[in-house]
Structure 1
Amino acid sequence: MSTLLRHQLEKITPLSNEEFEYILSHFTERKFRKHQFLVQNGQPVKFDYFILNGCIKSYHTDNEGKIHIIQFGMQDWWITDYQAYYNQMTATMDIDCIEDTEVLCLSYENREKLCSEMHKIEHFFRKKTNTRNVALQQRILSLISNNAKERYNNLLEQYPQLFQKVPKHLIASYLGVTRETLSRLNATSK
C-alpha cells in the first residue's frame, strides 16, 4: 500500500527509491475499525493521516448536539484537525471511521523534520496545502452561494464514490440539508 503514497508524492515531485524509503520510514501504519476515532475533540492531535483504504469523516458537534460534517476522506486523501495539528493544541473536532480504514500516520515532528531535510517534501506539502485551501474556499462559497440542489449536484459530480460509501444522513449533514431534502434531491437528479 505504500505505493499509493509514492504515487501521490510523485504526482508533484519525482523521488528516487532511497528518497521514498527514507520518507516512508517517518510514517507508521495503523488500522482502525468502523466508528473508531482517529481524532477526538479536546484531545491532542499527533498525526496527519494519509488514507490507504476506507472512509473517514471529520465533524463538529454544536452546543445543541447537531453534527456538522466538515470533510470526508477516502483512499489517497489526507485528513486531520489541521488547526490542532499545526498549532500542537487539542482537537476542536472529531474524526472517525465510516468503515474499516487503514492509514499512514505522520507526526508533526516527522513532517517538520522531513520538510527541513528535503526540499521535495516541503514542496509537496506546500502544493497539497494550496490545493486544500482552494477546496475549502470553494466549499465555503458553495455553502453561502449555492442552493441545496446545486450543492448536491456539485458533490455528486466531484465525488460520486462518496454516495456509495457514505450513509445518506451524513451526506445530508455535509450539504447542510435534512435527510428528507436529500431524498428529494436524489429523486429529482435521476
Structure 2
Amino acid sequence: MLAQLTPLLKQIQQHCPQIRPDELQQFANGLTLFQLPHKSHLLQAGETPTQMVYLCHGLIKAYYSDEQGELTNINFCQEGQFAGDYLAYMQQRPSKYSFQCLEHCTLIGLPYAHIQHSLQQSPQLERFFRLQLEQAFASYLQRTESFLISQSEKRYRQFMQQHPELSKRLSLTDLASYLGIKRQHLTRIRQKMRG
C-alpha cells in the first residue's frame, strides 16, 4: 500500500524536506486507501466528516443545495489536492456541503484522530498542513474577489486560463454553476468568444 501513498508522501517531502523517514512512515501507517465510483458521494450535507481525503486519481465537486433544491458548485478537487469540508472536519460538526465524484476516484483517507495526533507529534507535518490551508485560503479569496469584481465573461476567461485541463473534464452545467451563471448564458459567452 505504501507505493499507492507515494503521491501524497512525495508532496509532503517536497514541502518539508527536513521530515524524518520515521515520521513519514508513522504518518503513512494511519492512512487508508480506497476507491469511490463515478457519481457516488464522499460526503453529503448533514453528515459529520470523519476524514479528509487526498485525491490520487479522479475529480470531485463540492456543492451546496439551496431551499429550492438548486445546486451550486463551489469547488472542484482533482489529482494532488485535498477534498472535504475542512471547517466541519476540524470542528467535528455536520457539513453544509456535499462532495460528489465526477469520475471514478482513488483516494487516501486522513482520519481525524490520526491527523490530530500526527500534527501534535511532528512539526514538519504541522507545517505541511498549514501550507495546504494557506493555499486553500488564497484560492478561496481569489474566487470571492472574482465574484465581487468580475463580470461573468471575465470569470469564464480566468477559469479557462487558470484551469485549461480541468475545464475539459467538466460538463457545461457544472462549470456554469461554479461560475455563478446559467448554462445558457455560458453557452452564449463561449459562442461569442469563438467569433
Quickly name the TM-score band, shorter chain normalised.
Answer: over 0.9
Of 105, 110, 116, which residue of structure 1 is paired with 2:114? 110
Equivalences for 1:122-133 in 2 at 5 Å?
122-133=126-137
1:5 equivalent to 2:8? Answer: yes
Q: Which residue of 2 aligns with 1:89?
A: 93
1:151 equivalent to 2:167? Answer: no
- Residue aligned with 1:89, SS: coil
Name the aligned partner's letter for residue 151 of structure 1. Answer: R
- Residue aligned with 2:157, SS: helix
Q: Which runs of 5+ in 1 are unaligned?
A: none
Aligned-pair distance for 1:160? 1.1
Summarize deviations over 1:9-46 as a string: whole Å, max 9, x none. 12310144433222211210110001111111111211
1:176 equivalent to 2:151? Answer: no
Residue correspondences, number = 190
Of 153, 171, 191, which residue of structure 2 is paired with 1:187? 191
Q: Which residue of 2 aligns with 1:79?
A: 83
Name the aligned partner's letter for residue 103 of structure 1. Answer: L
> Which shows bigger deviation, 77-86 or 16-25?
16-25
Equivalences for 1:42-57 in 2 at 5 Å?
42-57=46-61
Percent identity between the aligned chains? 24
Matched residues in 2 for 1:162 and 1:187: separation? 20
- Residue aligned with 2:100, SS: strand
1:29 equivalent to 2:33? Answer: yes
Matched residues in 1 for 2:172 and 2:24: separation? 39
CA RMSD of aligned residues (A): 1.2
Matched residues in 1 for 2:62 and 2:15: separation? 26
Return structure 1 stretches of 4+ with deviation > 6 angstroms. Answer: none
Matched residues in 1 for 2:75 and 2:50: separation? 19
- Residue aligned with 2:60, SS: strand
Q: Which runs of 5+ in 2 are unaligned?
A: none
Matched residues in 2 for 1:22 and 1:89: separation? 27
Matched residues in 2 for 1:50 and 1:87: separation? 19
Summarize deviations over 1:58-88 as a string: whole Å, max 9, x none. 1000001111111101000101012210110
